[in-house]
C-alpha cells in the first residue's frame, strides 16, 4: 500500500512546509524526517496536525499582539494623568517610474523633484524611496499539471530576472499546485535558486490564493529589507485554495497595514492553459491592489521579455507615500497625479501605478 514519506524543507511563517514523496512500503509513517541541511533527525510533522488559530484564522503567535490591546479611542496616560485620543489616518502609496523625452529611464531624482496632487489638490509627501535598493522577492510559480510543458521556459525567464536584479536582493522560491512548498528560503545565491526552480512535479490542482497569502506573510516576517515584491506565474484559475480572492485581498491589504509592508505583486498569466475570465481578473485584482502589474503574454517567448521589464521596474522605481487631505473620500474617487521636474532635464514623464493604502493611527 502507499504511504507518504515527508522531507522537512523550511519553516514558512508560522506553518511548516513539507515536500512529500509517495513511496511503496508497509503503510507505516516514518517516525522522523531529516533536514537537508542537517543530519540530526527531527520529529515528523503530519499535514493534518492542528495548528492553533487566531480569530482571523492565522496560526497563533506565542507573543501577544500589542496592537490588539491598543484599540482606537481614548487611552489613559498614567504618568500625565491625561487621555490620548487616537484615530485612523489613511495613507496612499504610489509607485512611479520616470522617463525623459527620449523614453530613457531617469533614476537619480530626489524627493524635491516630485509633486503630488489628488483631484487637483496639492498633497504633502510623507515618505519617499528611490530605488535601486535591495528588495525581498518571492517567486511563486504554478506547479500544476498544465504547467508541465511550460516550466523550462518559465524557469529560464525567472533566472534572467534573478541575474538582472540587485546582487543584494534576498529571494525565495515557492512552487505550488494543490499545496505550496518553500523550496528555497531567502538567498542571493543564483545556484540555490536555480535548483529550487527545478523542483518540478507538474501535477495536481491550483491553490493560487493560498500560496500568495502564505508568501506575503513570509515576506512580512522577514524584516531585513524594506522593499518587498512577489512574482506570481500561473496558467490557470484557482480551484483549490481555502482562501477566496476577496479574503486574500483583505489579508494582503489589512494584515500588512504599515508603510512598505504590502508586497508589490507582479503577475504573469500564461494563456492557453485555461486562464480565462475569472482567472485573468483575479491576477489583475491582486496586482492592482498592491501597485503591481499583471501581464498576459500571447506566447511563452515573451515571458523573458516581461521578466526583464519587471527587473528594470524593481531597480528604477520611486515609491512615494502621501496622507490625503481629504480623509473621507472613497478610494475609487481618488485621482492621484505625480509630476517631476529637475535641473538638467527637459520634459519628464511620470508613469504611476495604483498603489495600496493603509490606515495608521494619529495621536491627539
Residues 100 and 228 in one domain: no
Whether residue 331 has pLDDT greater than 80:
no
Mention every residue, 6+ apart, whose C-beta is less than 8 A from residue 26: 1, 3
What are the C-alpha distances in Å from 207 to residues 45, 211, 236, 238, 239?
Answer: 21, 6, 10, 6, 6
Query: pTM value?
Result: 0.63
Q: Which domain holds residue 11?
A: 2-43
Same domain, residue pair 204 and 158: yes
- Residue 240 sits in a domain whose CATH number is 3.40.50.410
Compute CA 259 distance to the chain's CA centroid, rounded to the nearest angstrom.
14
Name the range with the highest mean pLDDT among 25-29, 84-88, 199-203, 212-216: 212-216
CB 256 within 8 A of CB 236: no
- Please state, in angstroms and rounded to a whole number, the distance separating the CA atoms of residues 297 and 306: 8
Mean pLDDT of the 74-103 span: 63
Contact 8, 42 (CB under 8 A): yes
Cross-strand pairs, 293: 266
Task: Check residue 89 and give its pLDDT.
Answer: 57
Q: For residues 247, 253, 258 and 262, what is the CA-based torsion angle, rounded to 10 degrees?
A: 110
Structure confidence at residue 271 (pLDDT)? 78
Instruction: Give a yes or no: residue 286 inside a domain.
Output: yes
Strand, coil or helix: what is 301?
helix
Q: For residues 106 and 9, state if they share a domain.
A: no
- Which of 61 and 144 is assigned the larger pLDDT? 144
- Residues 196, 295, single domain; the answer is yes
Regarding whether 267 and 124 lie in a shared domain, the answer is: no
Of 37-41, 184-188, 236-240, 356-360, where does mean pLDDT reach its minimum?
37-41
Residue-level pLDDT at 150? 93
Residue 103 belongs to some domain of the structure: yes
Residue-wise pLDDT tens digits, 114-142: 999 998 999 999 999 876 778 999 999 99
**Pairwise CA distance, residues 257 & 66, whole Å:** 15
- Tell me what percent of the residues of the chain surpass a pLDDT of 70: 68
Specify the pLDDT at position 142.
95
Q: Which region among 71-85, 235-249, 312-326 has the lowest average model confidence (pLDDT)?
A: 71-85
- Asked which of 69-73, 191-195, 257-261, 262-266 is least confident by mean pLDDT, the reply is 69-73
Task: Give the pLDDT confidence score for residue 199 in this predicted structure.
Answer: 87
Statement to judge: residues 276 and 213 lie in one domain: yes
What would the DSSP string read from start to end of 17-48? EEEEEEEESSSPPPSEEE-TT-SSEEE---TT
Amino acid at each position: 500500500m502507499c504511504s507518504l514519506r515527508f522531507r522537512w524543507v523550511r519553516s514558512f511563517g508560522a506553518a511548516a512546509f513539507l515536500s512529500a514523496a509517495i513511496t511503496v512500503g508497509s503503510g507505516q509513517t516514518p517516525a522522523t524526517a531529516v533536514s537537508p541541511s542537517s543530519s540530526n533527525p527531527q520529529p515528523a510533522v503530519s499535514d493534518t496536525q492542528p495548528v492553533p488559530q487566531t480569530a482571523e484564522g492565522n496560526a497563533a503567535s506565542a507573543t501577544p499582539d500589542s496592537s490588539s490591546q491598543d484599540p482606537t479611542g481614548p487611552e489613559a496616560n498614567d504618568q500625565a494623568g491625561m487621555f490620548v485620543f487616537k484615530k485612523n489616518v489613511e495613507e496612499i502609496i504610489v509607485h512611479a517610474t520616470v522617463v525623459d523625452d527620449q523614453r530613457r529611464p531617469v533614476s537619480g531624482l530626489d524627493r524635491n523633484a516630485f509633486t503630488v496632487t489628488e483631484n487637483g489638490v496639492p498633497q504633502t509627501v510623507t515618505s519617499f524611496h528611490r530605488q535601486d535598493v535591495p528588495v525581498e522577492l518571492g517567486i511563486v510559480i504554478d506547479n500544476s499539471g498544465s504547467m508541465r510543458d511550460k516550466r523550462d521556459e518559465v524557469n529560464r525567464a525567472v533566472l534572467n530576472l534573478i541575474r538582472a536584479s540587485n546582487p543584494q536582493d534576498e529571494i525565495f522560491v515557492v512552487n505550488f499546485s494543490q499545496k505550496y512548498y518553500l523550496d528555497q528560503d531567502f538567498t542571493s545565491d543564483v545556484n540555490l535558486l536555480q535548483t529550487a526552480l527545478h523542483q518540478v512535479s507538474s501535477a495536481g490542482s491550483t491553490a493560487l490564493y493560498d500560496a500568495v497569502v502564505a508568501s506575503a506573510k513570509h515576506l512580512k516576517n522577514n524584516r531585513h529589507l524594506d522593499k518587498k515584491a512577489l512574482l506570481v506565474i500561473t496558467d490557470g484559475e484557482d480551484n483549490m485554495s481555502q482562501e477566496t480572492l476577496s479574503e486574500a485581498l483583505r489579508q494582503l491589504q489589512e494584515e500588512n497595514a504599515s508603510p512598505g509592508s504590502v508586497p508589490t505583486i507582479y503577475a504573469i498569466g500564461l494563456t492557453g492553459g485555461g486562464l480565462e475570465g475569472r482567472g485573468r481578473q483575479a491576477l489583475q485584482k491582486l496586482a492592482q491592489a498592491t501597485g503591481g502589474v499583471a501581464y498576459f503574454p500571447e506566447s511563452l517567448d515573451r515571458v523573458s521579455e516581461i521578466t526583464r521589464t519587471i527587473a528594470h521596474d524593481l531597480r528604477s522605481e520611486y515609491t512615494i507615500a502621501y496622507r490625503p487631505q481629504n480623509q473621507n473620500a472613497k478610494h475609487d474617487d481618488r485621482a492621484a497625479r505625480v509630476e517631476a521636474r529637475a535641473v538638467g532635464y527637459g520634459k519628464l514623464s511620470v508613469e504611476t501605478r495604483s498603489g495600496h493604502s493603509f490606515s495608521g493611527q494619529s495621536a491627539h
